[in-house]
Chains A and B, each alone.
Chain A
Amino acid sequence: MEKLFPEYPFPIQNIESGLWLIIALPLLGAFINGVFGKALGRKNVHWVACASVGGSFLLSLLVMWALGKAQPEIPGPLAYALSADYGTWFAVGDFKVNFGLFADRLSATMLLVITGVGFLIHLYSTSYMEHDKGYAKYFSFLNLFVAMMLTLVLADSLVLLFVGWEGVGLCSYLLIGFWYDDEAKAWAGRKAFITNRIGDFGFLVASFLLVLLMAASVKEAPRGTPVSNPRFSASLAEKGPLAFQSLSTLASTLATPDISAAKLKAAKPDHKPALLMERDIQTGPLKGFSYSGVLTVVLLFFLLGAAGKSAQLPLYVWLPDAMAGPTPVSALIHAATMVTAGVYLFCRISYLVVLSPFAMATIAVVGCLTALIAALIAFAQDDIKKILAYSTVSQLGFMFMGIGCGLFWAAFLHVVTHAFFKACMFLGAGSVMHGNGDETDIKRLGGLRKEMPWTSWTFLIGTLAITGIVPLSGFFSKDAILFGLETQQLAGYTPVLHTLYILGLIAAACTAFYMVRLYVLTFEGKRSPLAKLPHAHESAWPMTLPLVILATLSIAAIVYGVPFLSVPNAPNQTLIEFYLAPVFNASNQANQLGMKAHMLLPGEFGGETPWNLLWTGWIKAWLIAVVCGGISCFLYLKVWRGGRKFPAILEPLRRFAHNKFFVDELYELLLINRTKGLAKGLYRYVDAFFVDRVAVHGTAQTVGFFGRVLRWFQNGNVQAYASAIALALAVGLTYALLQVLS
């Protein structure tokens, strides 16, 4: 790109201060379509929607250009980044949140993916949603989603990121329940939102704990550490403790060797120097905990948050249900962008992640288990969208494994390639549904290759990409992760990674199997006799064009992932690794200081790439993909399509997987019903009975009772009253007399 535009079309400062436009454009589109949609008419609605996202795409390209020129003279995380600050959002005491935007290479890549894929999906939707009544509403929500996702990516602090984080959840809720007349669809939206909220709970707790950690370290860090630098105090006061800038300084402080402790242990030279983060916190609410312990807890809470948004165990259950929304929504939100927010978050705070090997191992384990379970469930699903949903969950698991073994660039590469091929497949599925009278059961499809050539070819490319066949991008991104699992060292947890490598291979094998099954049943063979329509029809150009572009991109993306395309000055690095190096610079530094997760970059095997390891890894992965895909192809094309029954022994297993291992039912039984029961019980027995009836009305009735008893004395007989007076008088007089006499 630098060759194309050696000069910037605009001064960098203008691009920097105009970052808000990237968010504002889709937001404006959402507003216009939402408020004036009916008045505008269909044509104008999709013009507004596509133009706003397209505009954002162009602006994102500008950002990319601006970032292309290195700015290494600015030290710290701001190198190679654009940032803009639009004033305070809220500030209380020493806590402050700014409306600050920040685009480094990580966010810029995400920007391009979001706006690029987003634009294609908008284009696709113009045709897919053609006949829908809520056309303007749909595009309004979709634009709003894009705006929120861009906020998430551009935010320069955790709080602002949370705005996007919740915002995308909100739009996802609205879009899943887009056809709200169908109760099940509306419930699916609600389920997604609430599951996400459980994650948001984790996110919030983690952020609050980070604020405490920051306060403690500012108070306690010895002189000479980054946080005790006066320049940092100034930037902390200006940006607030949850800005990424502040957090990276926190990370580098925590990873600083503890000099006072090092002196003590100088007698034992073989001992690794202790780090500041191993100290105990002396003041504040976290008193008594160690920095590293709190950091681990923070990361685990972030993991909960990410598990909610990125559909990992145990919160993945919302994603398959989310397929109730329109298919382009599934492609955009539930495959390409929103669900990768968790991975993005961990990449963003990678410098914190690398400081806690336990948290990294947990992330990897969660990712791996999710990948496996989702893959197994996907085996027995028949709904085309459900299979894609489970494969998304599974692929997200791979990304988490990448995070867990410290190869952030590989995880992120997988985010990008996955965005391309999964969006391509989802849109392909939408095209299939569009051409077959909304049929989603793959057993009632089949033989579409001839009737829908564009769709089937692009779908095939997507399938091969996710399966991991060599010339496609998915192979390199997935294999980078698996390679990482095999070779990375994680202080204390390396065996875990090695175990996960095996499991990861199994998950990859499963992926190959069910994805090929999906492709074969849908597109190959003969048309099923149960099909709704006798003949399918290929979709119109606004639908096929995005398919072709996405398929092309899923091939083209390999240039980022192949390690032989060496970049000048950085041999043996993949393009994406080189490109993102400034982003993960802070984490590499923290990592080298902390020596927690020992990252073996390809260049670190004594200066040589471990070609033999790399090759064997590749061959293994490739063999697995081909063999499993082949078996699947053979079974579904020849054996079972040929009329053979599914073996009866495996039937219960199939049913078990078909019912998603009864996880939903389990949650329903253990959590939802319990909570509901608790609520009902509390209401009936505690609130209505104990508090209201016994305590409140009880008091009133006790008073009433005494009133009734006392009323008995008031019998209306004047003489009785007078007798009482006389008697009292007599008693009083007697008492007085006795007093006087004694």
Chain B
Amino acid sequence: MIPTTACLFLSAMLFFLGMLGFLLRKNALVVFMSVELMLNAANLAFIAFARMHGGVIGTTGHVSAFFVIAVAAAEAGVGLAIIIALFRTRRTLDVDEVRALKH
């Protein structure tokens, strides 16, 4: 059986990759995908712990994972819509160009 530590290590790697992608990539779409990656890393950690604990407590982990997936789906819907709207108005997806949050 794959040890929990390994799963957690994989989750951490995925999260780190996602974070790097989020911080460094300039294309909004890729940034968005990096967020998804981080969410999935979290899911992986949930599942790993759920398997480790098993029983009633474990189900909480599964539920959480489903919950995250649901949130991620909603986020994808909204996020992609924003990105499309952004592209339509600005004709670019470079996050350095899009600074609507400034000041």
Contact = CB atoms under 8 A, between A and B. Distances in A.
Contacts of A717: 95-96, 99, 101-102
15 contacts: A711-B103, A714-B101, A714-B102, A716-B99, A716-B103, A717-B96, A718-B95, A718-B101, A719-B23, A719-B24, A719-B31, A721-B101, A722-B22, A722-B23, A726-B23
Nearest to A711: B103
A719 B94 CA distance: 11
Interface in B57-103: 95-96, 99-103
A612 interface: no
Question: Which applies to chain B's interface (DSSP): helix, strand, loop or mixed?
Answer: loop
Q: Main secondary structure on chain A at its contact with chain B?
A: helix
Contacts of B24: 719
Interface in A696-737: 711, 714-719, 721-723, 726
Interface string B31-75: 100000000000000000000000000000000000000000000
A718 B22 CA distance: 9
B8 interface: no
Q: How large is the interface on B (under 10, 10 to 19, 20 to 34, 35 or more residues)?
A: 10 to 19
B102 A719 contact: no
B19 interface: yes
A313 B17 CA distance: 97
Interface of B: 19, 22-24, 31, 95-96, 99-103
Contacts of B19: 722, 726
A722 B24 CA distance: 10
A716 B23 contact: no
B102 A723 contact: no
A714 B102 CA distance: 6
A709 to B, nearest CB: 13
B22 A716 contact: no
Contacts of B23: 719, 722-723, 726
Contacts of B102: 714-717
Given A721-B101, A722-B19, 14 more contacts: A714-B101, A714-B102, A715-B102, A716-B101, A716-B102, A716-B103, A717-B96, A718-B31, A718-B95, A719-B23, A719-B31, A722-B22, A722-B23, A726-B23
B99 A715 contact: yes
Contacts of A726: 19, 23
Contacts of B99: 715-717
Contacts of B96: 717
B48 to A, nearest CB: 19
A723 B95 CA distance: 14
- Can you list the 4 inter-chain pairs with the closest CB atoms, starting with the nearest? A716-B102, A716-B99, A716-B101, A723-B23
A372 B96 CA distance: 94
Interface residues of A, number: 11
A719 B23 CA distance: 5
A726 B23 CA distance: 9
Given A726-B19, A726-B23, A719 B103 contact: no
Contacts of B22: 719, 722
Interface of A: 711, 714-719, 721-723, 726
A175 to B, nearest CB: 68
A711 B99 CA distance: 14
Nearest to B25: A719
B31 to A, nearest CB: 7
A126 to B, nearest CB: 81
Nearest to B28: A718
B31 A714 contact: no
A536 to B, nearest CB: 88
Nearest to A726: B19
A466 to B, nearest CB: 87
Contacts of B100: 716
Contacts of A722: 19, 22-23
Nearest to A721: B101
Interface centre among A715, A716, A726 (most CB of B within 10 A): A716
A726 B15 CA distance: 12
Nearest to A729: B19
A711 B7 CA distance: 42
A584 to B, nearest CB: 87
A719 B102 CA distance: 12
B103 A714 contact: yes
A724 to B, nearest CB: 10
Contacts of A715: 99, 102
**Most-contacted residue by chain A among B23, B31, B96, B102 (CB, 10 A):** B23
Nearest to A712: B103
Most chain B beta-carbon contacts within 10 A, residue among A718, A721, A726: A718
Contacts of A721: 101
A581 to B, nearest CB: 93
B22 to A, nearest CB: 6
Contacts of B103: 711, 714, 716
A545 B64 CA distance: 117
A73 B25 CA distance: 116
A716 B98 CA distance: 8
Contacts of A719: 22-24, 31, 95
Contacts of B31: 718-719
A718 B102 CA distance: 9
Contacts of A714: 101-103
A726 B18 CA distance: 12
Residue with the greatest number of chain A CB neighbours at <10 A, chosen from B24, B31, B100, B101: B101
B100 to A, nearest CB: 7
A36 to B, nearest CB: 71
A401 to B, nearest CB: 82
A30 B61 CA distance: 98
Contacts of B101: 714, 716-718, 721
Contacts of A723: 23
A711 B103 CA distance: 6
B33 to A, nearest CB: 14
Nearest to B35: A722
B20 to A, nearest CB: 9
B36 to A, nearest CB: 15
A721 B31 CA distance: 13
Contacts of B95: 717-719
B85 to A, nearest CB: 16
Nearest to B101: A716
B87 to A, nearest CB: 16
A722 B19 CA distance: 9
Contacts of A711: 103
Nearest to A723: B23
B32 to A, nearest CB: 11
A723 B21 CA distance: 11
A719 to B, nearest CB: 5
A721 B22 CA distance: 11
A715 B103 CA distance: 7
A719 B27 CA distance: 11
B41 to A, nearest CB: 14
A719 B103 CA distance: 15
A298 to B, nearest CB: 70
A718 B95 CA distance: 8
A543 B100 CA distance: 93
B35 to A, nearest CB: 10
Contacts of A718: 31, 95, 101
A717 B23 CA distance: 10
A391 B100 CA distance: 88
A196 to B, nearest CB: 64
B43 to A, nearest CB: 19
A515 B58 CA distance: 123
A527 B25 CA distance: 114
